Amino acid sequence: MPPLLPPSLPDGPTYGVLARFAGPRELLHACERVRDAGFTRWDAHSPFPVHGLDRAMGLGTSPLPWIVLALGLAGAAGAMLLQWWVHVRAYPLVISGKPLFSWPAFVPVTFEVGVLFGALGAVFGMFGLNRLPMHHHPLFQSATFERVSDDGFFVSIESWDPKFDAQTTTRMLRDLGAVDVELLASS
Amino acid sequence: MAPTEENADCDPVRGRAPLILGGHDFPSITRAVCDPLERPTPLGWWAFFLPSLGLLGLLGLATGWLFWEGIGIWGLNNPVGWAFDITNFVFWVGIGHAGTLISAILFLLRQRWRTSINRSAEAMTIFAVMCALIFPGIHVGRIWVAYWMLPLPNQMSMWPNFRSPLLWDVFAVSIYGTVSVMFWYVGLVPDLATVRDRARSLLRRRIFGALALGWRGSNRHWQHYERAYLILAGLATPLVLSVHSIVSMDFAVSQLPGWHTTIFPPYFVAGAIFSGFAMVVTLMVITRQAFGMQNLITIRHFENMAKIMIVTGLMVGYAYAMEFFIAWYSGNPYEGFALLNRAFGPYSWAYWIMVSCNVLLPQILWWRKARTNLAILFVMSLVVNVGMWFERFVIIVTSLHRDYLPSSWDYYVPTIWEFLALLGSFGLFFTMFCLFVRFLPIVATAEVKGVLPQADPHHGEERVVLDVSKAPAREATT
């Protein structure tokens, strides 16, 4: 049986190369060059989202809004259905002479549940697309990578990229102005 | 105030004074936020925490006795069937609204100054909603039937009525709480990773490592993350407006003079934001001082919050006036009586406390000196919160205590148990807030780093030299 999700990490002894850059500007320029060199299995890491980095990396748009829309509409429809079912099927009781399916009174709950499901879709959709939680990752072997949540700006190129070669890729990153470059093993 | 050396480094793109003072760079922001979490617990923290915990104990006492004995221990009488419980509920839900306004609405409006205060304001929202949710849960004194609030058939196979605003309210407030927690947690993840990466003890590393979900600052992740944050802000904005609108419908949908008005939804929302900002100011004045975050949470933040307070305070004042106008203009004698009774009847003392605290005294905030003076602002924030609590009390009790039938008129006096429940809810609120400031990063470091001038990849290129003396000198130093 094939796995549910495609693998997210390269197999083989080498994970890839990790290079640290001095700041957001250096990171942005390096990403533009890595993108233009034709790499596909690589990433940038920064303590905060750097403006313009998505384009510099050549990333497409996030499909997240579609997940949110679908779940939000499903939640709203489900809430309306629940209220219809309660008042028309499960417990039909005439209250204040209103029809059993007095839908205008059901709008607030429909709206709220739609928002709830949309928000659930945004949060769990985001973590799902990001393959999080993933508490173990080869990048965490690096001692300098601790700085990614403080002041470190990194580019990582994974070994299963067709253009990857341990030596030439390391040299390319050095030429792009990386402060330090290290080769990481698969953990 | 003359421009200082720090704010001489103006943002070259906008030519505005920077949001963060004190010449901060990326690591110094990490240190400023994380150091307080990693130091041994300061003595001053216990000075806040233990009294809060004591008040929380009072909540346990007040609710425990209530569950044992029933709501007969409260001062409720025949026309006034609910009073302190629902007043406290509306008060606490309202407090929460400022947090969502700061985190969602100001985010959509690209008010980047929000980044210094949004984390703690969101935490405040969550704790306020927790306090609020206690009261619908306990207000019938029979905790074992609290499940009647859920869309489930009860032991008599009866279903709740979805046409009732009270049920809408259950959905609105609980969903509001849930979405607020998710929004807050999503914002926390990058900062939890920061605490994880600084942790020296294994336990700390494990706990924060688990909570940070393996966040590694990946830009492929940031892309979805930023989209998720924007969507959550977009969802939270109509949600927060709907929540207090629905709370107001608990009253407005009924037929009672003094409650049955269409102005209630916007009036309640404005009041909620008004009181919520007052609570943010109260908390921020103390937190900023206690943690030495004067450069992250600046006078500019307080001045902006004071401006929002005066705007929403004026909206509330307009609503007070409009209620009287409509009572007269509608020609409805019951409506007219309810309003006259509110202002000049047996509860006139409460009405005039409300008007003084919410409308008259906040006018001092028109003066910049008052908006930038933390002592005045702190006192005003307390005054506004007293006023907003009384607003809910006035709306609820004065409308109920003299109904259509004069023979059933009565005067409601709360008992000690109602006061203890109110005090106890403050205990819960401050206990949670103390725990929050002790164990979690109280400023969104990832976001604050993002608003530093050097976070812009084009910072330092083609530098525009600005004449600082012409820049608006609004950064009062502390």
Contact B196 A126 (CB under 8 A): no
Whether B457 sits inside 8 A of A149 (CB atoms) is: no
Residue in chain B lying closest to A26 (CA): B457
Q: Domain for residue B220, yes or no? A: yes
Which chain A residue's Cα is nearest to B235? A115
DSSP track, A9-38:
S--SSEEEEEEEESSHHHHHHHHHHHHHTT
Considering only CB atoms, which chain A residues are within 8 Å of B25?
A: 151
Axis crossing angle, helix B416-439 with helix B118-138, rounded to the nearest 10? 150
* Residue B407 forms contact with A (CB below 8 Å): no
Whether chain A has a CB inside 8 Å of the CB on B455: the answer is yes
Contact A62 B223 (CB under 8 A): yes
Phi, psi of B230 (to 5 degrees): -65, -45
Domains of chain A, by residue range, sit at 14-46+152-185, 64-129
Q: Is residue B23 part of a domain?
A: no
Rounded to a whole number, what is the distance in Å from the CA of B269 to chain A's nearest CA?
A: 16
Question: From the centroid of its chain, how far is CA B88?
Answer: 14
Tell me the average pLDDT across A157-162. Answer: 90
Q: What is the CATH number of the domain that holds B155?
A: 1.20.1630.10
pLDDT digits (tens, 9 = 90+) for A56-105: 998 988 999 999 999 999 999 999 999 999 999 999 999 888 899 999 99
Residues of B in contact with A49 (CB under 8 A): 219, 222-223, 225-226, 450
B354 within domain boundaries: yes
Give the chain A residue whose CA is nearest to the CA of B448.
A48
| Residues B396 and B86 sit within 8 Å (Cβ to Cβ) | yes
Nearest Cα of chain A lies from the Cα of B315 at a distance, in angstroms, of 25
Question: How many C-beta atoms surround the C-beta of residue A48 within 10 A?
Answer: 22
Option in A64, A115, A130 nearest B175 (CB): A115
CATH of domain A14-46+152-185: 3.30.70.790
Distances (CA, A) of B148 to B26, B145, B226: 51, 6, 39
Q: Of A119, A134, A148, which is closest to B217 when you measure between CB atoms? A: A148
Q: Residue B88: which domain range?
A: 37-456
Find the residue in A nearest to B167 (Cα). A109
How far off is chain B from A126, nearest CA to CA, in Å? Answer: 6
Beta-carbon separation of A111 and B454 below 8 A: no
- Report the phi/psi class of residue A94: left, alpha or beta, with left for phi > 0 and alpha for psi in -120 to 50: beta
Amino acid residing at B249: M
Whether B154 contacts chain A with CB within 8 A: no
Report the alpha-carbon distance of residue A136 to residue A156 in Å, rounded.
16
Residue B167 tokens, joined: 């049920």
Beta strands, E only, B121-165: none
Inter-chain touch B179–A115, beta carbons under 8 Å: yes
Q: Is B259 within 8 Å of B326 (Cβ atoms)? A: no
Indicate the pTM of the whole model. 0.90
Question: Number of structural domains, chain B?
Answer: 1
Task: Report the residue of A89, A149, A155, A187 to disrupt the B interface, i.e. the one with the largest count of B CBs within 10 Å.
Answer: A149
* Cα distance between residue B267 and residue B276, in whole Å: 14
Say yes or no for a CB contact (<8 Å) between A108 and B242. yes
Whole-angstrom distance between the N-terminal and C-terminal Cα of chain B? 10
pLDDT tens for each residue of chain B, 478 residues long:
334 444 444 554 555 667 777 778 888 888 888 888 888 888 889 999 999 999 999 999 999 999 999 999 999 998 999 999 999 999 999 998 888 888 888 888 888 888 888 898 999 999 999 999 999 989 888 989 888 888 888 888 899 999 999 999 999 999 999 999 999 999 999 999 999 999 889 999 999 999 999 999 999 999 999 999 999 999 999 999 999 999 999 999 988 999 999 999 999 999 999 999 999 999 999 988 888 888 888 898 899 999 999 999 999 999 999 999 999 999 999 999 999 999 999 999 999 999 999 999 999 999 999 999 999 999 999 999 999 999 999 999 999 999 888 999 999 999 999 999 999 999 999 999 999 999 999 889 898 888 888 888 887 665 555 555 555 555 444 4
Question: Which residues, listed in sequence order, are joined to residue B218 by a DSSP beta bridge?
Answer: A45
